[in-house]
Amino acid sequence: MKIALLGHGTVGRGVVDIIDSGTGALEVSRILELPQFCNEARMTSNFDDIVEDDEIDAVVEAMGGLEPAHGYIVRALEAGKSVVTSNKAVVAEFFEEFVDAARANGASLFIEATTGGGIPWIAGLMKVRRVDEVSSFSGIMNGTTNYIVDQMSRSGAEFGAVLERAQGLGYAERDPSADIDGIDVKNKTIISASVAFDVACTHDLPVSGIRNLTKADLEFFASRGQSVRLLGKGVQELGSYAVAVEPTAVDARSMEAAVPDNFNLLSCEGATIGPLKFYGQGAGSLPTGNAMVQDLLDLAAGVRPIYDFSRGLAYDPTLLSGDYLIRAAGFEPSGAEPAGAGYHRVPDITAEQARSLLDEALSVDPTAFMAAIG
């Protein structure tokens, strides 16, 4: 099967390396690249060379960003070419449009590599769905933030120092906002909920990150037998669902608390299968490339994913609620109880209410931090 690759960066090179090393069923026949980098016969800077080539069966999109990736994916699907992508931002934004375009043109959309890197998370959710409803999911979906929290806990270093180390290792971008403010996890949570619950997931969900996490915060939670992790979460019940992204205080003895460095751990639960956990490399050239090649092999074997957003679940934020701990100098939330060391416990609020409360706290203390109690 002949494929075209859009983007020859970290992930794209991983795909090429895996296929060129001996995956006999696949051939990279075209690579879209900037003109100044077209140094192989199979490289082109003109997308028309790809979309108009009848011999190309599938397009592998590893460019990142919204445009031109969005336009290229739509054009490929409209041309009847299946698309394999690792681009969580574009899938989260245009998932329903892509699914409609694929269905209308006899093509397929494969998204395993968007969430969890090399972990077979999307495939796992789809298998659970064949028998059970997925009642809930949650997980560490971003290796950068997990690396930061893990290294802060291990070394006792402050956030800024560990972030610099993560940037030096290539785990964090020069502008780390998408990671540390929870945007990357938001995209992956939208994708996970859409697949797990058969719903066009809302984009208007509460999102909090770890930008204000301090060494003292981690020491406080450790004194309570807890560790902090940034989690994406979703739950469905009785025709409704809710999703959120937020720092969460998990039991120090839990599997989540033990996840090291830039690894991911994703969990889901169904009525007959019970709880399932998926652990592995959440990013990187070869793990993510592996997931994309797995999708291509499924396509070659005639295995096509089916996404169905017709259930019409209502969004109900009350499904995600619980107690929270907040640290904010000069700010005492209504109904809160002192929890020691400058923290207050806020009982029984939704994730949406917690995000609104944090916004109030940040207007008083820009260094405020809040975590759900898992």
Which of the residues are catalytic? 188
E strand map for 54-212? 58-61, 82-85, 109-110, 134-140
The full length of the chain comes to 374
Residue 276 contacts residue 119 (beta carbons within 8 Å)? no
CA distance 249 to 232: 13
CA distance 95 to 187: 11
CA distance 7 to 20: 16
CA distance 126 to 81: 22
Place of tokens 């610099």: 164
Structure tokens at 267: 């969990």
Of 248, 256, 192, 252, nearest to 223 (Cα)? 252
Distances (CA, A) of 240 to 234, 246, 312: 11, 20, 9
Q: What is the C-alpha R_g of the chain?
A: 21
Of 320, 338, 319, nearest to 328 (Cα)? 338
Structure tokens at 66: 């919204």
Residue 16 contacts residue 7 (beta carbons within 8 Å)? no
Write the CB contacts of 167 (distance below 8 Å, at least 6 apart in sequence).
173, 174, 176
